[in-house]
Amino acid sequence: MSMKKAAVIGWPIRHSKSPIIHNHWLEKHRIQGSYEAIAISSEDLKAQVRALVEAGYCGFNVTAPHKQAIIPLMDFVRAEAERIGAVNTVVVNPDGTLEGRNTDSFGFIINLKENSKIFDSKKPIVVLGAGGAARAVVYALQKDGATDIRIVNRTLARAKELAAMFGGTSGHPWELLPDLLKDTALLVNTTSLGMTGQPALDIDLNPLPKTALVHDIVYHPLKTGLLQTAAGRGNPIVTGLGMLLHQARPAFQAWFGVMPDVDADLMKKVLA
Ligand code: ATR
C-alpha cells in the first residue's frame, strides 16, 4: 500500500500538538503514513492547498488563522462545519475534490462525557466567550439536548449574535455573571483568558454551586487559574487536553481508516 500523507496547516504552526498526536497513532497502528506541520500564510492559502492536493495528500487539519478562510476552497462542507462556520479537517476525496468537516464539537462533547458522570445537558449551562471556539461548544451542547445555554461575553453584541443562531441559548454581558452562575450546572471557558501569555480569567466563583462541573478548553497551562480555583472549592473539573486529543480522532479515521483511542502514552507525549 502506498504511503498516505496528511498535515496540519496554519500560521504560525510550530506550536501545534497535532503532529505528536497523529504520529503516535500512525506508529501504534503500524500504518504507513506521515503527518507534518506546514506553515502557510493567508496570502498563499489557495495556491498551497492546491499544491497539497497535487502532492497527493489525503487530507489536512486547518488551524488559526485559516478555519474560516478555507471554506470557499471546499467542494463540499459538512452540515456541522457549515453551522459552526469553521472547518478544522479537510478530506481529499479520491477524485481530488475537497470536503470540509469540523471535529471540534465532537472532541468537546466526547471529552466532557468521558470525564464526567454528572454531566446533564438539560441543566443550566454558562459558556464564557462568543468566538469560533464558543460556536463549536454551543453547537455540541445543543446537539446533545441542552435547552438553557447562557452565553456570556465581553462584547455583548457577539453573545447575542451567537445566541440568535442557536435555539435554547441566550446572550448576556459579563456583569450578570454572578446572577447567572447561581443555578449553573456546567461552566465552560472558551475565551483565551487564562492561556499562557494571555491575561488571567478573573471571575468570582462564589455564586457557583459546588456541584457544578467546570471545564476550561484552554490546555496551556493544563490547570488554568479557573480550574485551580474551582478544584480548590471542591467543584469537579475537566481540563482542555481531552478536547484537543478527541477532536483529532475522526480526522485520523477519515484519512487512515482506523478510529484511534486516547491512551495514557499519548497524554504523556502531548504534555512532555
Ligand atoms: P476563538 O476562535 O479561539 O474562539 P475568537 O473568535 O477571537 O477566538 O474569540 C475569542 C473570545 O475570547 C471572544 O469571546 C473574546 O471576547 P470578545 O468577543 O469581547 O472579543 C474573548 N476574549 C479575548 N480576550 C479577552 C479579554 N481580555 N477579556 C474578555 N474576553 C476576551
Cβ of 191 below 6 Å from ligand 1: yes
Percent of the chain as helix, strand, coil, to the nearest 5: 40, 20, 45
Calculate ∠ Cα 258-57-42, nearest 5°: 120
> Which of 199, 235, 243, 237 is closest to 218 using CA atoms?
243
Where is 171: in which H helix or E strand? strand 169-173
User: Is any ligand 1 atom within 6 A of the Cβ of residue 158?
Assistant: yes
* Signed CA dihedral, 54, 22, 138, 129: sign only: negative
Neighbour tally for 11: CB within 10 Å: 16
Mutate to test the pocket of ligand 1, among 177, 189, 191, 201 (most ligand atoms within 8 A of CB): 191
- Quote the pTM value: 0.95
What pLDDT, in 10s, does the model give residues 18-49? 999 999 999 999 999 999 999 999 999 999 99
* Ligand 1 geometric centre to CA of 192 (Å): 6
Nearest to 63 by CA among 10, 116, 111: 10
Whether residue 117 is predicted with pLDDT greater than 90 in this model: the reply is no
- Give 216-268 pLDDT, tens digit per residue: 999 999 999 999 999 999 999 999 999 999 999 999 999 999 999 999 999 99
Q: Is the CB of 132 under 6 A from ligand 1?
A: yes
pLDDT for position 6:
98
> What whole-number percentage of the chain has pLDDT above 70?
100
Query: What would the pLDDT profile of 183-215 be if each residue is shown by its tens digit?
Result: 999 999 999 999 999 999 999 999 999 999 999
2 contacts: CB under 8 Å, gap ≥ 6: 32
pLDDT at 161 over 60: yes
From the CA of 135, give the closest atom in ligand 1.
4
What confidence score (pLDDT) does residue 79 get? 97
Amino acid identity at 140: A
pLDDT at 139: 97
For every residue of 101-114, DSSP letters joined together read E--HHHHHHHHHHH
DSSP lists the bridge partners of residue 151 as 127, 171
Active site residues: 67
State residue 123's pLDDT score: 97
Question: How far does residue 235's CA lie from ligand 1's centre (Å)?
Answer: 25
Say how far apart CA 152 and CA 135 lie, in whole Å.
12
Interval 148-159 mean pLDDT = 98
pLDDT (average), residues 150-159: 98
Decide: 153 in ligand 1 pocket, CB within 6 A: yes
State the pLDDT confidence band at 111, using cuts at 50, 70 and 90: very high
Mean pLDDT for the chain overall: 96
Across 85-111, average pLDDT: 97
Cα(112) to ligand 1 centroid in Å equals 22
Q: How confident is the model at residue 118, as a pLDDT?
A: 86
Q: Is the CB of 239 under 6 A from ligand 1?
A: no
- What share of the chain in percent tops pLDDT 90? 96
Distances (CA, A) of 133 to 22, 64, 240: 22, 11, 12
What is the distance in A from the centroid of ligand 1 to the CA of 193?
8
Identify the pLDDT of residue 2.
78
Structure confidence at residue 1 (pLDDT): 57
